[in-house]
């Protein structure tokens, strides 16, 4: 998708392919022998076999809006179109409809196909609503909307019993996502966060039933709600460094790019023969240079204390650890000077300074790595104060042969002040 497209559409397009192909394995590998997405809507007869499988997705959410505010709904999913993980994108849209009309009569649309031989999917999308709390005059109020996406694909009884998971996936909606948006140009409105647990809407949210999805607020204006197939926070965003639709870019995009670059030409050619989507992903990954890969290595947002009233505004924009141009970092680039943190800080009677020496005392009740570091001498490289006012000390271990590499790449081990002893 175009990098200049609507941010929400970019996010949805990326999530749609999460797990599409775990990694660009060669054709003989079994890991991608069947699709591996979340958000699966199986045929009803197959879904009934297990309590952990579903034939539908359902969102119930709270909307505060005038009666004439319009709501649009979309079902987005992948449908198997060939061997292994090959699939095509499907999108079923419901027209923009005033919320009062939705409450009076549900809006419904059925869908079918495409199919190959005995494969194929049929289903329906239903949007309904109810007015919970009108304001005087009934001009606006609080509404509960329910969006339901169903797989209605019919199976013969004997077929349902004999069907294995791979065959069932070919008759399923894969990576199913739901999207609700308030129509533009109207009176507007806002969705209430489905994860809200306090405030005046908490009882209505607690009474809402969501099935096979994780709904979150999807825009800064709260005029869109996304039913995701994986856990997300409210207002999720794509990192500007992301190269989009790499099938794992919500977790390990950097590792995937490095993996593609490490493949031989023969391996890349064999992998690319499996699926046009995988072939296009490999081409995009190969086009990345060292600077672009390093830019995926991490992101921090540094915030100074709020200025006094009438003072200069503070720049709170995210800071990349690797803000060099596309040509790459100059020789001897001082990574550590880009995000310095504090030079010196006092905690009680103890002083901590960048460049100072400490003995690591994480204790012996932690994980095995902590036990290995206990008693080691380290250099203080970073001192940060978190939003919770806790002090975070970034160090490199002096006798670690890889400390220079960690320092140059800005990767440190972090400890609290009670876990170190100043030398």
Q: What is the pLDDT of residues 98-113, one digit of tens each?
A: 999 999 999 999 999 7
In a domain, 216, yes or no: yes
pTM for the model stands at 0.71
pLDDT score recorded for residue 324: 44
pLDDT score recorded for residue 336: 40
pLDDT score recorded for residue 410: 79
Closest-CA residue to 15 (of 37, 43, 46): 37
> Of 204, 228, 252, which residue constitutes the final position of a domain?
228
Of 314 and 296, the one with more pLDDT: 296
**pLDDT tens-digit series, residues 111-162:** 997 654 456 899 999 999 999 987 555 457 999 999 999 999 998 877 777 8
Identify the domain containing residue 58 by its residue range.
34-228
Binned at pLDDT 50, 70 and 90, residue 219 comes out as very high
Residues 217 and 366 in one domain: no
Instruction: Work out the average pLDDT over 347-375.
Output: 87
**pLDDT tens-digit series, residues 63-94:** 999 999 999 999 999 998 887 778 889 999 99
Give the C-alpha distances (Å, rounded to integers) separating 291 from 238, 320, 336: 19, 12, 16
Q: How many domains does the chain have?
A: 2
Q: What CATH number is given to the structural domain containing 398?
A: 2.30.30
Count other Cβ atoms within 10 Å, centred on residue 240: 10
Give me the phi and psi of 150, to 5 degrees please.
-120, 140
In a domain, 323, yes or no: no
Residues 42 and 165 in one domain: yes
Binned at pLDDT 50, 70 and 90, residue 329 comes out as very low
In a domain, 290, yes or no: no
Binned at pLDDT 50, 70 and 90, residue 323 comes out as very low
pLDDT score recorded for residue 116: 46
pLDDT score recorded for residue 36: 64
In a domain, 12, yes or no: no
In a domain, 372, yes or no: yes
Query: Both tokens of residue 114?
Result: 């495409």
In a domain, 62, yes or no: yes
In a domain, 140, yes or no: yes
> Of 200, 228, 256, which residue constitutes the final position of a domain?
228
In a domain, 319, yes or no: no
* Separation CA 121–CA 126 (nearest Å): 17
pLDDT score recorded for residue 17: 85
Instruction: Work out the average pLDDT over 317-321.
Output: 51
> Of 228, 261, 281, which residue constitutes the final position of a domain?
228
Percent of the chain predicted with pLDDT > 90:
43
């Amino acid at each position: 998708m175009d990098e200049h497209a609507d941010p929400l559409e970019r996010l949805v397009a990326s999530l749609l392919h999460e797990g599409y192909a775990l990694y660009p394995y060669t054709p003989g590998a079994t890991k991608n022998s069947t699709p591996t997405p979340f958000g699966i809507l199986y045929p009803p007869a197959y879904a009934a076999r297990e309590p952990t499988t579903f034939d539908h997705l359902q969102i119930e959410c709270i909307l505060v809006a005038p009666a004439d505010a319009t709501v649009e709904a979309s079902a987005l999913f992948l449908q198997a179109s060939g061997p292994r993980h090959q699939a095509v994108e499907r999108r079923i849209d419901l027209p923009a409809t005033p919320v009062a009309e939705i409450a009076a009569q549900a809006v419904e649309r059925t869908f079918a196909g495409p199919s190959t031989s005995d494969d194929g999917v049929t289903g329906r999308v239903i949007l309904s609503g109810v007015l919970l709390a009108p304001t005087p005059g009934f001009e606006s109020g609080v509404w509960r909307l329910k969006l339901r996406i169903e797989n209605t694909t019919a199976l013969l009884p004997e077929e349902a019993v004999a069907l294995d998971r791979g065959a069932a996936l070919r008759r399923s909606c894969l990576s199913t996502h739901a999207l609700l948006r308030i129509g533009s140009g109207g009176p507007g409105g806002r969705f209430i966060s489905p994860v809200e647990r306090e405030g005046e809407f908490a009882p209505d949210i607690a009474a809402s039933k969501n099935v096979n999805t994780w709904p979150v607020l999807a825009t800064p204006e709260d005029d869109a709600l996304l039913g995701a197939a994986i856990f997300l926070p409210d207002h999720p965003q794509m990192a500007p460094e992301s190269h989009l639709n790499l099938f794992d870019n919500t977790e390990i995009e950097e590792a995937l790019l490095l993996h593609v670059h490490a493949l031989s030409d023969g391996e890349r050619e064999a992998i690319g023969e499996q699926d046009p989507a995988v072939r296009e992903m490999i081409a995009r990954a190969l086009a990345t240079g060292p600077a672009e890969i390093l830019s995926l290595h991490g992101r921090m947002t540094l915030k100074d204390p709020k200025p006094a009233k009438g003072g200069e505004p503070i720049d709170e924009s995210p800071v990349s650890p690797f803000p060099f141009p596309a040509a790459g970092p100059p020789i001897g680039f001082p990574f550590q000077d880009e995000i310095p943190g504090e030079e010196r800080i006092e905690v009680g009677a103890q002083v901590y300074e960048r460049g100072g020496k400490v003995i690591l005392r994480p204790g012996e009740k932690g994980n095995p790595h902590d036990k290995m570091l206990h008693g080691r001498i380290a250099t203080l490289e970073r001192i940060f104060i978190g939003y919770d006012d806790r002090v975070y000390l970034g160090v490199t271990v002096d006798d670690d042969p890889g400390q220079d590499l960690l320092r140059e790449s800005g990767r440190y081990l972090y400890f609290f002040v009670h876990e170190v002893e100043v030398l």
